[in-house]
């Protein structure tokens, strides 16, 4: 689920960057896009480090009680 949220957050930045004429605003949007992409990569790396029995069928981490 978290993977989906990161991807949904990334898509608007890509559209805004493509449409933005002001270079300063485009630069700020690009930095924000990179931050979201880094969060997604870190999340995926965290999942890859988990043993398979700690993951649910959708690849997310299972919560333990």
User: Hey, what long-range contacts does 7-13 have (CB within 8 A, 24 or more apart)?
Assistant: 7/40, 9/36, 10/36, 10/37, 10/40
pLDDT at 3: 85
What's the pTM value of the predicted model, to 2 decimals?
Answer: 0.69
Q: Average pLDDT across each block of 10 residues of the chain; the chain has 65 residues. List them in order.
A: 88 94 97 94 90 62 50
pLDDT at 64: 45
Q: Which helix (H) or strand (E) holds 31?
A: helix 23-49
| Phi and psi at residue 60, to the nearest 5° | -80, 165
pLDDT at 13: 93
pLDDT at 2: 86
CA–CA separation, 23 and 9 (whole Å): 21
CA–CA separation, 41 and 16 (whole Å): 21
């Amino acid at each position: 689920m978290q993977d989906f949220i990161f991807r949904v957050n990334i898509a608007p930045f890509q559209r805004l960057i493509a449409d933005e004429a002001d270079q300063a605003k485009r630069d700020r949007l690009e930095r924000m896009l990179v931050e979201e992409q880094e969060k997604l990569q870190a999340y995926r790396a965290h999942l890859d480090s988990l043993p398979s029995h700690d993951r649910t069928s959708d690849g997310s981490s299972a919560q333990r009680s």
